[in-house]
Chains A and B, each alone.
Chain A
Amino acid sequence: MNQNGIVEILLVEDNPDDLELTLRALRQANLANHIEVARDGAEALEFIFCEGPHSGRKIEDTPRVILLDLKLPKVDGLEVLQRIKSDPRTKHIPVVMLTSSKEQSDIVKSYESGVNSYMVKPVNFEGFAAAVQELGMYWLLLNESPKLNRIG
Chain B
Amino acid sequence: MAGDLSNRSSGRQNTVFEKARLQGAVASEERYRALFEHAPDGILIADSENCYLDANASICRMLGYARDELIGMHASAILAQTEIANIGPALDATKSGSGRQREVQFRRKDNSVFAAEQIVTALPDGNLMVMIRDITERRRVEQALRIKQEHSQSLLRLARRLEGVLTVEDILEVSRDEVERTLGIHAVWFYVFSEDRRFLRIIGANHRTEEVPQAKDGELLLIEGDQMLEEIAAAEAIVVVEDARTDPRTNKRLVERLGNRTIVNMPVTLSGRKLGTIGAGTFGDEGVRVLNAEECEFFAALASHVAAVLDRVQALEKRQLAEAALRQSDARFVKAFESNPAAMCITTVKDGRFIEVNDRYCQMFNSTREELIGKSALKLSLWADPATRALLVELLQARGFVRDYETRFRRRNGEPLDAMISMELIDFPGENEPVLIAMFTDFTERKQAEAKINRLNADLEQRVIRRTAELEAANKELEAFSYSVSHDLRAPLRAVDGFSRAVMEDYGPHLPEAGQRYLQTIREGAQRMGLLIDDLLNFSRLSRVSLGKRTLDMGGLVQAALDELSGQRQGRQIDLRIGDLPPCKGDPALLKQVWINLLSNAIKYTQRREAAVIEVGCTAEQGINTYFVRDNGTGFDMRYFGKLFGVFQRLHRAEDYPGTGVGLAIVQRVIHRHGGRVWAEAAPDLGATFYFTLESATSS
Contact = CB atoms under 8 A, between A and B. Distances in A.
Given A101-B486, A124-B530, A17 B501 contact: no
Interface string B484-500: 00111011111101111
Instruction: Give the one of B483, B488, B502, B529 with max A CB within 10 A.
Output: B483
B527 A124 contact: yes
Contact of A123 (B487, B488, B502, B529): B529
A27 to B, nearest CB: 11
A39 to B, nearest CB: 15
Given A71-B487, A100-B488, A102-B537, A121 B501 contact: no
A87 interface: no
A101 B483 contact: yes
A130 B570 CA distance: 24
B497 A124 contact: yes
A24 B483 contact: no
Given A18-B491, A101-B483, A101-B487, A123 B497 contact: yes
A21 B483 contact: no
Contacts of A15: 491
Contacts of A70: 487
A100 to B, nearest CB: 4
Contact of A17 (B482, B495, B534): B495
Contacts of B526: 123-124
A22 to B, nearest CB: 9
A99 B484 CA distance: 12
Interface in A98-114: 99-104
A144 interface: no
Contacts of B534: 102
Given A102-B534, A123-B526, A18 B494 contact: yes
Contacts of A21: 494-495, 498-499, 502
How large, as a class, is the contact surface on chain B?
Answer: 20 to 34
Given A18-B491, A100-B491, A128-B498, A123 B527 contact: yes
A121 B494 contact: yes
B129 to A, nearest CB: 174
Contacts of A128: 494, 498
Given A123-B527, A124-B527, A124-B530, A102 B486 contact: yes
* A interface SS class: loop
Contacts of A24: 498, 502
A101 B491 CA distance: 10
Given A101-B486, A102-B486, A103-B483, A125 B491 contact: no
Given A15-B491, A17-B491, A102-B534, A125 B486 contact: no
Contact of B501 (A99, A102, A103, A126): A126
A45 B486 CA distance: 26
Nearest to A124: B527
B530 A17 contact: no
Contacts of B493: 123
Contacts of A123: 490, 493-494, 497, 526-527, 529-530
Nearest to B506: A24
A73 interface: no
Interface string B464-497: 0000000000000000001100111011111101
B151 to A, nearest CB: 132
A125 B501 contact: yes
B503 to A, nearest CB: 11
A25 to B, nearest CB: 9
Contacts of B491: 15, 17-18, 100, 121
Contacts of B527: 123-124
Interface string B230-271: 000000000000000000000000000000000000000000
Interface string B32-66: 00000000000000000000000000000000000
A121 B494 CA distance: 8
Interface string A35-52: 000000000000000000
B287 to A, nearest CB: 131
Interface string A44-78: 00000000000000000000000000110000000
Nearest to B528: A123
Nearest to B530: A123
Nearest to B501: A125
Interface in B498-547: 498-502, 523, 526-527, 529-530, 534, 537, 541
B488 to A, nearest CB: 7
Most chain A CB atoms below 10 A, which of B487, B488, B490, B498: B498
Nearest to A15: B491
A123 B529 CA distance: 9
B526 to A, nearest CB: 6
A118 to B, nearest CB: 14
A124 B498 CA distance: 7
A127 B338 CA distance: 98
A104 B523 CA distance: 28
Nearest to A99: B487
B486 A100 contact: yes
30 contacts: A15-B491, A17-B498, A17-B499, A18-B494, A18-B495, A21-B498, A21-B499, A24-B498, A71-B487, A71-B488, A100-B486, A100-B488, A100-B490, A100-B491, A100-B494, A101-B487, A102-B534, A103-B482, A121-B494, A122-B494, A123-B490, A123-B493, A123-B497, A123-B527, A123-B529, A124-B526, A124-B527, A125-B494, A125-B500, A125-B501
| 9 A-B pairs with the lowest CB-CB distances in the bound complex, closest first | A123-B530, A17-B495, A21-B498, A125-B501, A125-B498, A100-B487, A123-B493, A100-B490, A101-B487
Given A100-B491, A102-B534, 13 more contacts: A17-B498, A21-B495, A21-B498, A71-B488, A102-B486, A103-B486, A121-B491, A123-B497, A123-B526, A123-B527, A123-B530, A125-B502, A128-B494
Interface of A: 15, 17-18, 21, 24, 70-71, 99-104, 121-126, 128
